[in-house]
Chain A
Amino acid sequence: MSILEIILFTLGKVLVLLTLILLSVSYLVYFERRISAWIQNRLGPNRVGWQGVLQPFADIFKLLLKEDIVPDKANKKIHTLAPIIALFVAFSTYAVIPFGPTVTLFGYSVPLVVADINIGILYVLALSSIGVYAMTLAGWSSGSKYSLLGGIRSSAQMISYEVSMGFSVGGVLLLSQSLRPTEIVLAQSGWMWNAFIQPIGFITFLVASFAETNRLPFDLPEAEPELVGGFHTEYSSMKFAGFFLAEYANMIIASALIVTLYLGGWQLPLIDTFGLPSGIVITLQILGFVLKMGMLLFFFIWIRWTLPRFRYDQLMSLGWKVMFPLSLINLIWVAVLIMVFNI
């Protein structure tokens, strides 16, 4: 493959992935509204198009047509920069998530991942830490008490939960002996999913990713009843939509990451035993990845409409006194597994 071909293929993958993500983000908002309505015995948006399927577009047009208000006391440059950081971080993280095996297209072998880099997991962790800056800067630059409190809360929350998140990922890395996401997926072939081998790590990572994506029960930076919307109180129009989209994009990246790290990525167990042609197998594997992600996203929404929000001190004590020791225990458990069974 020449450099030109590599660039063309990568651009193609980026375009396809970006379109799919933007679409799925807007439909995630739609499904969140429908599912929350169903849980509360309501119907939800069902007027725009068949069963309301065009609702996301109506929402986007509404947000675009709104007046963009920047408060007088805001630091205008940073106020504008914050949603851009949020969106940039949310979208660029997808680059390293493998959504299928290597396929042969037009005579070239193309790995179904935008960038197959050897420090993929590190890249994800680093970028998701930058995501905190979006919220903290948004809260700080708005010139409002509520926003500032939201920003401070978000930084404190992210720091506490990133620790247990990092340690839970450590367990996965010990087993796969690699930071490359494609290899982590391959290490979980058959039923060797990390969720079964290290359930404690799976749970701590799941809880930490709820905190990282600011979803209930950990949505303290937003906390509508006490902070009027937290860090995005002073945002309107498309800048608000930026944060909104970033939150949902983060949800998708979090579930994609959980699938990659703990649920075997695109691998479906026992698929080779049916003797299907390779084209169908690959399609099924990509569909399997999407299905696993969809189930996790449903779980995210389901949890949001089930559990109440944590109090700030409860959040901190849960993060440091429960999640952190649990992720350490998981690390020891994996080390013992490797020593005893030599996997």
Chain B
Amino acid sequence: MAEKKRLKDLTFWDKIYIPAILNGLALTFKNLLGPKFTLKYPEEKFIPSGSYRGSPVLVVEKNGVERCVACGLCSRVCPALAIEVQAAETENEKERYPEKFEINMLRCIYCGFCEEVCPEEAILMSKEYELAFDNREDGIYGKDKLLKPVEELKDRIEFLRRYK
């Protein structure tokens, strides 16, 4: 193999390495004293921005009615087949509502397709990321766990209106 020629010849100080080593030591020492980025997790929690795709939730309007009209598009588009919707009717102005709305969090892949396809802006990706269960039944979230008031989801709605 032919010997490769350097673009620039090394000077004496480059060759004895010591200045470079001292430089490196100074850098690591600066980092040693510098700020730390680790969060002490159970005590300090990571607060995600609006662009974060956590677990999907259903939006409840300020008057206490859910936005969902049980069209079933989210269930249709879900690549992991995690969503199950059953529609029912009421006497209200907005007739349809989901009688049963279940998301299996063990199947959900947090792709956000349900949110994207929803015509009513009713299903949104929240900032919730602490999803631990000790049995499979607890992984299936029903309406009791999914409904979230609209005020809690402002960041996400703002993000979607700006970038979607």
Q: Is the CB of B34 within 8 A of A302?
A: no
* Residue in A40, A41, A42, A306 whose beta carbon sits within 8 Å of that of B24 in the complex: A306
Closest B residue to A303 by beta carbon equals B25
In chain A between 1 and 41, which residues have their CB closer than 8 angstroms to a CB of chain B?
Answer: 35, 37-41
B86 within 8 A of partner (CB) = no
Q: Is the CB of A41 within 8 A of B37?
A: yes
Q: Is the CB of A38 within 8 A of B25?
A: no
* Residue in A37, A41, A46 whose beta carbon sits within 8 Å of that of B35 in the complex: A41
Query: A39-69, CB under 8 A of B: which get 1 and which 0?
Result: 1111100100000000000000000000000
The smallest C-beta distance from A215 to any residue of chain B, in angstroms, reads: 14
**A41 neighbours in B (Cβ, 8 Å):** 31, 34-38
B2 within 8 A of partner (CB) = no
Query: For chains A and B in complex, what number of residue pairs have CB atoms within 8 angstroms?
Result: 36
Closest A residue to B15 by beta carbon equals A322
Cα of A187 to Cα of B35 in the assembled complex, Å: 45
Cα of A41 to Cα of B28 in the assembled complex, Å: 10
A41-B35, A307-B21, A307-B24 known; A302-B29 Cβ under 8 A: yes
Closest A residue to B21 by beta carbon equals A307
In chain A between 306 and 324, which residues have their CB closer than 8 angstroms to a CB of chain B?
Answer: 306-307
B45 within 8 A of partner (CB) = no
A305 within 8 A of partner (CB) = yes
In chain B between 17 and 73, which residues have their CB closer than 8 angstroms to a CB of chain A?
Answer: 21, 24-25, 27-29, 31-38, 40
* Residue in A38, A43, A307 whose beta carbon sits within 8 Å of that of B31 in the complex: A38
A39-B31, A39-B32 known; A302-B37 Cβ under 8 A: no
Cα of A302 to Cα of B40 in the assembled complex, Å: 25
The smallest C-beta distance from B38 to any residue of chain A, in angstroms, reads: 4
Q: Is the CB of B32 within 8 A of A43?
A: no
Q: Is the CB of B21 within 8 A of A40?
A: no
Q: Is the CB of B36 within 8 A of A43?
A: yes
Q: Is the CB of B40 within 8 A of A43?
A: yes
**B25 neighbours in A (Cβ, 8 Å):** 302-303, 306
Q: Which residues of A contact B (CB under 8 A)?
A: 35, 37-43, 46, 302-303, 305-307
Cα of A43 to Cα of B41 in the assembled complex, Å: 12
* Residue in B21, B33, B37 whose beta carbon sits within 8 Å of that of A42 in the complex: B37
Q: Which residues of B contact A (CB under 8 A)?
A: 21, 24-25, 27-29, 31-38, 40
* Most chain A beta-carbon contacts within 10 A, residue among B29, B35, B38: B38
Q: Mostly helix, strand, loop or mixed at chain B's interface? A: helix
Q: Is the CB of B38 within 8 A of A39?
A: no
The smallest C-beta distance from B28 to any residue of chain A, in angstroms, reads: 4
A302-B25, A306-B25 known; A40-B40 Cβ under 8 A: no
The smallest C-beta distance from B15 to any residue of chain A, in angstroms, reads: 10
Q: Is the CB of A302 within 8 A of B28?
A: yes
Closest A residue to B33 by beta carbon equals A38
The smallest C-beta distance from A67 to any residue of chain B, in angstroms, reads: 28
A-B contact pairs, 17 of them (CB 8 A): A37-B38, A38-B31, A38-B33, A38-B36, A41-B34, A41-B35, A41-B36, A42-B38, A43-B36, A302-B28, A302-B29, A303-B25, A305-B28, A306-B21, A306-B25, A306-B27, A307-B24
Cα of A155 to Cα of B29 in the assembled complex, Å: 33
Cα of A37 to Cα of B36 in the assembled complex, Å: 9
**A303 neighbours in B (Cβ, 8 Å):** 25
The smallest C-beta distance from A207 to any residue of chain B, in angstroms, reads: 11
The smallest C-beta distance from A22 to any residue of chain B, in angstroms, reads: 27
Cα of A271 to Cα of B15 in the assembled complex, Å: 41
**A43 neighbours in B (Cβ, 8 Å):** 36, 38, 40
Closest B residue to A43 by beta carbon equals B38
The smallest C-beta distance from A201 to any residue of chain B, in angstroms, reads: 16
Closest A residue to B35 by beta carbon equals A41
A-B pairs with lowest CB-CB distance, top 4:
A43-B38, A306-B28, A306-B24, A38-B32
Closest B residue to A299 by beta carbon equals B25
Cα of A316 to Cα of B146 in the assembled complex, Å: 65
Closest B residue to A318 by beta carbon equals B17
**A306 neighbours in B (Cβ, 8 Å):** 21, 24-25, 27-28
The smallest C-beta distance from B25 to any residue of chain A, in angstroms, reads: 5
